[in-house]
Structure 1
Amino acid sequence: METEARRNTSVTESPDTNIWWTIPSGIVLVAGVVGAAIWLLRSNSD
C-alpha cells in the first residue's frame, strides 16, 4: 500500500496538485473503511 501511495504522489509534480489528490483519496479511503465496518456490523447482527 505504501509503495502505491508513493507512486501516486510521484506522478503529481507540484505539492499544490498533490494536496488535491491526497484529500479526496483520503476521504474515499475513510469512507470505504467506515462503510465496510458498518456493513460487517450489520451482517454480524443478523
Structure 2
Amino acid sequence: DGLTSQWLAERARWNRNFPMGVDLILVDDTQVVALPRTTRIRGGTN
C-alpha cells in the first residue's frame, strides 16, 4: 500500500511554512522510523 503521491504532495504543502509542519512517524510490530518535517520525500518504485 504505502503513501500515495497525493498524500506526499499534501504533506509538502503542510511543511511549506517551516517551522510549522508535519513530522512523520512510521511504526510496525518491530520497527520505528521518524522523518522530520524538513525531510523531502520523492516518489519512486520498489
Q: Which structure: greater strand fraction? A: 2
TM-score w.r.t. structure 1 length?
Answer: 0.29
Structure with larger RCO (C-alpha < 8 A, sep 6+): 2
Bigger-Rg structure (1/2): 1
